[in-house]
Amino acid sequence: MTAPWEDDDTTIPAQASQAWAGEVVDAIDRSYQRKDDGKPRSYIGGSMIGKECDASVAFGLRGFPDNDFPPRVRRIFRDGHKIEDDVVSDLKRGGFQVWDRDADGRQFAYHSHGGHVRSNIDGKIEGPDGEVYLLEIKSMNDASWKKFVKTGVASSHSHYADQCQFYMGASGMRHALFIAYNKNSSEYHAEIVPFDQFRYEGLLAKTERVLESGNGRRITNDGPGFFGCRFCSKRDACWEGLAPETVCRTCVHSKPTGEGAWFCTRLKEVRDDPCDDYKTWAPGEKI
């Protein structure tokens, strides 16, 4: 007995077959180009405070949209989240006590300044002395990972070191386990990062500077081609006019309050809905 396809003389021309294969890839990419339904974050996150540019931090505080990343980059972000889960699983597999969710099954989060500042951490891990350490997980390409191994996180990725310091300051933990996974070789490297009060206070001062002024200056006046701007998630909002949601927090006349609201300096009141004087906020130029 022969299989049905063995009696079928119909063959798909190689050129047509390859064209369809290309359509498959195009369809996948198009699925990633669809806009997310969720709204962008509207607070200063611990992961962004280490950025040199105050404007980038202020854009995050006010909830301006991120760049419309290409499909390839969106998949990199997706894979990064998956790797974090795999690292937690590997740590547990190695016999370590790890907590990656709170009692309600949610990510551990620490809020301050009325909720305008939030630190969402990867988890906690029990250290050798029973102390609870902050757990910070990153995935890196081979070159980035090797640089971390050679020089340490404070030198290789200062913004990650700042992230650890800010999270420790917010949570009260005094040590962090920073662990990096090499996406090319599947190797691990880890480093203990002690809490640095001086460095944390500097980051806190930067946070409060953006909050109190309701403003933020660009790192450069040279345009989006500047190296520090090319990989910023707020580049299109900053330089290309990517429009935000029309609400008070994105208005130039609004400033954050200590209670987590937004105060209209024109009408002298706290409000959510924009008034007739609404004008989209824009960052200040570098002095």
Assess if residue 95 is contained within a domain: yes
Answer yes or no: is 188 within a domain: yes
**Residue 18 included in any domain:** no
Domain range spanning residue 87?
73-110+120-212
Residue 277 pLDDT: 94
> What was the pLDDT predicted at 120?
95
Question: What pLDDT score does 121 carry?
Answer: 97
Q: How far is CA 277 from CA 19, 60, 61, 252, in A?
A: 53, 22, 21, 10
- Tell me if 3 is assigned to some domain: no
Alpha-carbon distance of 215 to 210, in angstroms, equals 6
Domain-located, residue 115? no
Helix (H, G, I), strand (E, B) or coil at 275: coil
Token pair of 127 as six digits: 């250290």
pLDDT on residue 10: 57
Total tally of structural domains belonging to the chain: 1
pLDDT at 140: 97
pLDDT at 6: 54
pTM, entire model: 0.88
Along the chain (287 residues), what's the average pLDDT of each consecutive run of 10 residues? 54 74 89 69 91 92 90 89 96 97 94 95 95 98 98 97 97 98 98 98 93 83 91 92 94 93 94 92 85
In a domain, 284, yes or no: no
Residue 45 is predicted with a pLDDT of 92
Q: What is the CATH number of the domain that holds 152?
A: 3.90.320.10
